[in-house]
Amino acid sequence: MKDRRRILSVISKNKSLTPFQKKVYKVIFGIPTGEVRSYKWVACKLGRASAARAVGNALNKNPYAPLVPCHRIIKSDGTIGGYAKGVKAKRKILKWEGIEL
């Protein structure tokens, strides 16, 4: 719990992040290991249902990966979507967490 608060505090205080990026990272930080969510789900959690592409752009710049698990975000149709380190790496991490896409 202490580590969780510390990480959230670091995200909040990072002046190089936009307010939108901070919100995205805080939302995805709460996704449990072994579970995935869609870009649209994240956008809806932020109250911006049409911002799925913006969520993807924010995740592409995630400086806290894998602690802030951007690899757990997939497309609404259940396909893998993109990943800054490549789709192959994303599949490998997800498989390690017990998720097959």
pLDDT one-digit tens code per residue, 75-90: 999 999 989 889 999 9
Does 39 map to a domain?
yes
Region 95-101: what's the mean pLDDT? Answer: 92
Q: What is the pLDDT of residue 39?
A: 97
pLDDT for the residue 36: 97
* 77 in any annotated domain: yes
CATH number at residue 30: 1.10.10.10
Question: Hey, what amino acid is at 28?
Answer: I
pLDDT of res. 101:
82
As annotated, the active-site residues are: 70
Instruction: Extract the tokens encoding 1.
Output: 């719990």
Q: Has residue 12 been placed in a domain?
A: yes
pLDDT at position 1 over 70 = no
Range of the domain at 62: 2-96
Report the domain count for the chain. Answer: 1
φ and ψ of 52, to 5 deg:
-60, -40
In a domain? residue 18 = yes
Q: Answer whether residue 90 is part of any domain.
A: yes
Query: Residue 95: exposed, middle, or buried by beta-carbon count in 10 A (0-12, 13-18, 19+)?
Result: exposed
pLDDT band at residue 14, thresholds of 50, 70 and 90?
A: very high
| Strands, E assignment, 1-90 | 37-38, 73-74
101 in any annotated domain: no
With respect to residue 62, please indicate whether it lies within any of the assigned structural domains.
yes
pLDDT digits (tens, 9 = 90+) for 31-79: 999 999 999 999 999 999 999 999 999 999 999 988 899 999 999 999 9
Residue where the block lists tokens 């996704």? 31
> Distance (Å, rounded) from C-alpha 55 to C-alpha 101?
20
Distance, CA of 99 to chain centre: 15
